[in-house]
Amino acid sequence: MAVRLSPFSYVILVLVGRGGAGPHDLRRMAEAGRVYWDAAPSQWYAEPKRLEKLGLLSSRKEPGRTRQRTHYDLTPAGVEALEGWVRTPTALPRMQQEAIVRVLAADLVDHAAILEGLAPLADELATADAEIRHALEVARSLPERRRLLEINHRYAARLIELQREWLQEARAELA
């Protein structure tokens, strides 16, 4: 019986990568990469356990600051699963843009209320922009993945800039 993996399963396998990672590492990567993928914090801890049960990851205990930590490694079966997955067609990215839906509500509710709800987005975009700049710096310390990370981080920077431009346009329309 073939086990079906979710797109999130593959995210975990890729992030564990050749060097391995613990749940805390995965969660930290998730926070830094929220432009690319977002999931509930509990999923970043639960999914590696599930993948280990499926034989796609293995784990070992390593010393931590206050207690032992779990460290996951990709198994040959995990690499095989990734090899099969990367050959499948890539779909158009799924996006859940709450701000776009709020602007669409402008014919139903007060524009000032929408502008009030959109106001914090500028700070969020600035924070995401800073996170991407930091991620580009970190990429320099990972020679085996540097070029790949830089491609993705430049993509994220352009997405953030596009959202910043969209926000300016939406604000002007609603003002």
Domain ranges of the chain: 7-86, 98-174
Is 77:56 a contact under the CB 8 Å cutoff?
Answer: yes
Question: Angle formed by the axes of helices 76-86 and 7-16, to 10°?
Answer: 130
Instruction: Output the pLDDT for position 1.
Output: 46
Instruction: Output the pLDDT for position 151.
Output: 94
Instruction: Output the pLDDT for position 114.
Output: 96
Instruction: Output the pLDDT for position 125.
Output: 95
Taking CA 16 as the corner, what is the angle to CA 15 and CA 22, rounded to the nearest 5 degrees?
A: 115
Would you give the distance in Å from CA 71 to the centre of its chain?
20
Closest CA to 131 of 102, 171, 159, 99: 159
Long-range CB contacts (< 8 A, 24+ apart) of 166-175? 166/99, 166/100, 167/99, 167/118, 167/121, 167/122, 167/125, 170/99, 170/103, 170/118, 171/115, 171/118, 173/103, 173/106, 174/103, 174/106, 174/111, 174/114, 174/115, 175/111, 175/115
Average pLDDT per consecutive 10 residues, the chain (175 residues; last block may be shorter): 81 90 84 72 90 96 87 96 94 86 94 96 93 88 89 92 96 96
CATH class of 7-86: mainly alpha
Instruction: Output the pLDDT for position 42.
Output: 86
Instruction: Output the pLDDT for position 33.
Output: 67
Instruction: Output the pLDDT for position 35.
Output: 62
Distance CA 56, CA 17 (A): 12
